[in-house]
Structure 1
């Protein structure tokens, strides 16, 4: 079952996020069953919303790739992560090729 993962990580900067992107290379080597990723920043820090085929897929990416990239970027603290089953998905801006 598809899930949405919401992450809030106070104190994470744009520079740190970009360092993790480069290190983990999730755009060049997409994680298995990752469907959607959007990152934004508030005054508090990083905010991420992902769509995954399953919570287990996200957990595998976290353990196998993301944790090392976060450590390498020197990010401190712990994020607040919430995972929910997807009830509906509508993407009017996306048109399949």
Structure 2
């Protein structure tokens, strides 16, 4: 079952997001799902500013796929000062891709 994972990072900026992506990709950038090592099962990713912070929303093929990637993501997010943030996980009813 696909899931929607949303992170609300209060106080975060684009610089924090970009630093996280740089660490995850070894500085190669992230413009396609295949650019993110270890993100097997990632269907889509979107990120952008919200009042007071930054929001990241992913769609994953399964909870297990996200949990596997979270083992890589968590130490990076923690090192950047946002280790206290817990994602909101929602079952996806419908996932449409192009």
Tell me if TM exceeds 0.5. Answer: yes
State the TM bucket, normalised to the shorter chain.
0.7 to 0.9
Root-mean-square deviation (CA, aligned residues, Å) is: 1.9
TM-score (normalizing by structure 2): 0.78
Q: Measure how far apart 1:85 and its partner are.
A: 1.3
Match of 1:6 in 2: 6
TM-score (normalizing by structure 1): 0.79
Distance in 2 (CA, whole Å) between partners of 1:33 and 1:76 is 24
Matches within 5 A, 1:15-94: 15-25=15-25, 27-29=35-37, 31-63=39-71, 65-72=72-79, 74-76=80-82, 78-91=84-97, 94=98
Q: Contact between 1:10 and 1:44, CA under 8 Å: does it hold in 2? A: yes
Unmatched 5+ stretches in structure 2:
none
Unmatched 5+ stretches in structure 1:
none
> Structure 1 residues 71 and 79 mapped into 2: Cα distance closer, same or farther (>3 Å)?
closer
Show structure 1 runs of 4+ deviating over 6 A: none
Number of positions where the alignment pairs a residue of Structure 1 with one of Structure 2: 90
SS at match of 2:74: helix
* Rg comparison, structure with higher value: 1
Q: Measure how far apart 1:90 and its partner are.
A: 3.1
